Amino acid sequence: MNAPFRHVPALDGIRGVAIVWVVLHNTTFLVSGPTRGVLYLLNVFAHTGWIGVQLFFALSGLLITAGLIETQGTAHYFRNFYARRALRILPLYYSALCLVFLILPHLATLPAAFTSAGQAPLWLFLTNWTTRVPYGFSHFWSLAVEEQFYLVWPLLVFRLAPRRLLPACLAIAAAALLVRIFLSVRGADPWTIYSNTVCRMDALALGGAGACVLFMPAQRAWLARHRGVVGLATALVFIAGVPLTHVYSTTGYAGQTLGYLLLAICSAVLVTALAGAGERPFARPWSVLVAVLAWGPLRSCGKFSYAMYVLHNLLHKLFGEPWLLARFGPHPPASVIFTYALGILVASYVLAFVSYELLEKRFLRLKSRFGPRPALA
């Protein structure tokens, strides 16, 4: 099957936005008390930074589904997909586990809260199914969700044409909403709803639905003609969700049910509209957005986003936060915290660059042995 689009630089920018947002979110929890002016805006931005994971999920759904559709009917469909995913994910992932559990305890004094107990789910990509995760690894839940998605999604896409896969994706998204409603009504804790794979499938599935649209000429052409209206409607949906979900709170009923769905829809529409950039030039304000997302530093963060995600919270929890508390006490000034968060962002970028050059790209070169490179992957 011919690829309907080529690599789109703005999608790298989306990854960059997502990782910057997530890092700020995970490194600014110590902000307390009222903030004003720029610090207030930064605090609001950082507080909602978990939405970056929703962007990652929608983008993964789009790219993985597109790659699978492109390779339908090819030899070694399953072997090639799983091998390519393993080469991308596993070397850094297991290197991080070995470093923290087997090497660092002999080289550095780790926080008292750190323990190697309960590490089995980490090695099996099951951290999102347990509440006992070693200190510093709580963010690995989303990697577990992604890996579980990679495991089952090729089975669904294997023989379904885009016009048949599209309603399946929409049905899965609806099912995820129903599961969250059921769990919320039954009093499930917010973490279960936040991290459970089934509960978060709507963003992944709607990203997959976007890939289907891009493989359907009529629907793709419609999206190209009405991109401005679609973008405005998406922005209005996102804005309307702010008061309805209490600024997309992850602890209230509205946020856990409607909020996740609205964000999944907005994220999927955004990445789909950007991916389908080939038919005609973007009109404003889309052209401005594309230019911003294609900015070099943002795309560079997107390129190294996987390693930045893996490493940033380990750096923060095992080294940065203990230093911050020892230096400034339990309530550091907000200005100090945001300066520190920027420092963790820069440090995680540098470590991710080193990881890519010394480790990851050596395995990525092997991907060429497992079939052609899908256009978007």
Q: From first to last of its 377 residues, what are the pLDDT tens digits of the chain?
A: 445 556 788 999 999 999 999 999 999 998 876 678 888 889 989 999 999 999 999 999 999 999 999 999 999 999 999 999 999 999 999 999 999 999 999 999 999 999 989 999 999 999 999 988 999 999 999 999 999 999 999 999 999 999 999 999 999 999 999 999 999 999 999 999 999 999 999 999 999 999 999 999 999 999 988 888 999 999 999 999 999 999 999 999 999 999 999 999 999 999 999 998 654 555 667 788 888 999 999 999 999 999 999 999 999 999 999 999 999 999 999 999 999 999 999 999 999 999 999 999 999 999 999 986 555 54
Three-state SS annotation for the chain: CCCCCCCCHHHHHHHHHHHHHHHHHHHCCCCCCCCCHHHHHHHHHHHCCCHHHHHHHHHHHHHHHHHHHHCCCCCCHHHHHHHHHHHHHHHHHHHHHHHHHHHHHHHCCCCCCCCCCCCHHHHCCCHHHCCCCCCCCHHHHHHHHHHHHHHHHHHHHCCCCHHHHHHHHHHHHHHHHHHHHHHHHCCCCHHHHHHCCCCCHHHHHHHHHHHHHHCCHHHHHHHHHCHHHHHHHHHHHHHHHHHHCCCCCCCCHHHHHHHHHHHHHHHHHHHHHHHCCCCCCCCCCHHHHHHHHCCHHHHHHHHCHHHHHHHHHHHHHHHHHHHHHHHHCCCCCHHHHHHHHHHHHHHHHHHHHHHHHHHHHHHHHHHHHCCCCCCCC
pLDDT of residue 4: 54
pLDDT of residue 377: 47
pLDDT of residue 283: 61
Full-model pTM: 0.95
